[in-house]
Amino acid sequence: MTDNSTQNSIEDSDFELLTEIRGGSYAAFKLLFQRYYSPFCRYACYFLDDEVAAEDIVQDTFLGLWEKRKSIQITDSVKFYLSRSIRNKCLNIIKHSKIKDGYSAAIEERTSPEIDQIEYEYFELRLQIENCIEKLPPRCQEIFQKSRFEQLKQKEIAEEMDISIRTVKVQINKALQLLRDCVSEFFPDIRV
């Protein structure tokens, strides 16, 4: 068990590394990667129960950090930011897997080679919505998922994320508008 001073020291060190990474220091990036790679792989494997997929997720998360190093805004600890990103990616993989499995099962259950057009369009729309949700800005996506998938009330989201209820409302409205725009690109006849 680490005491608060040790934890604060690690967090301070992480922010120093992040500052160097923003400046383009590959050595700082490598040090942060080495510090968290193994624990994050175990964490991702907890969700996915697949070591290779877990490693891919962690590597992809660190790659995203490197690619967005100049614009990334981290207000919490670097470790928390990375672990939340990994968790969200794992949950997205699980959701996509369930949708694909359900779609495959629905096709296999049919004795007719023709797929009911309405059912097909439903699955297609659902996959598109999932893709659109992934395109939301990270904070907006997190708030939207807490609201719609975790069924949290706006007040609960605000308390959990330490933000105002107004910010939650604005982010949910923003997410809904972006989803409408995104979905309408692919399904112009559908009103979301």
- Mean pLDDT within 107-123: 52
Task: Say whether pLDDT at 123 is over 80.
Answer: no
Greater confidence (6 vs 138) lies with 138
Q: Secondary structure of the chain in the HEC alphabet?
A: CCCHHHHHHHHHHHHHHHHHHHCCCHHHHHHHHHHHHHHHHHHHHHHHCCHHHHHHHHHHHHHHHHHCCCCCCCCCCHHHHHHHHHHHHHHHHHHHHHHHHHHHHHHHHCCCCCCCHHHHHHHHHHHHHHHHHHCCCHHHHHHHHHHHCCCCCHHHHHHHHCCCHHHHHHHHHHHHHHHHHHHHHHCCCCCC
User: Does 145 fall in a domain?
Assistant: no
Task: Say whether pLDDT at 9 is over 70.
Answer: no
Task: Say whether pLDDT at 117 is over 60.
Answer: no
User: Does 175 fall in a domain?
Assistant: no
User: Does 11 fall in a domain?
Assistant: yes
Using CA atoms, how far apart are residues 150 and 143, in angstroms rounded to an integer? 10
Q: How many domains would you assign to the chain?
A: 1
User: Does 74 fall in a domain?
Assistant: yes
User: Does 155 fall in a domain?
Assistant: no
User: Does 160 fall in a domain?
Assistant: no
User: Does 186 fall in a domain?
Assistant: no
Domain CATH for 104: 1.10.1740.10
Task: Say whether pLDDT at 110 is over 80.
Answer: no
User: Does 115 fall in a domain?
Assistant: no
Segments forming the whole domain that contains residue 68: 4-109
Range from 28-42, 59-73, 172-186 carrying the lowest mean pLDDT: 172-186
Average of per-residue pLDDT values in the chain: 81
Range from 9-18, 93-102, 156-165, 173-182 carrying the lowest mean pLDDT: 93-102
The two structure tokens encoding residue 17: 């590394």
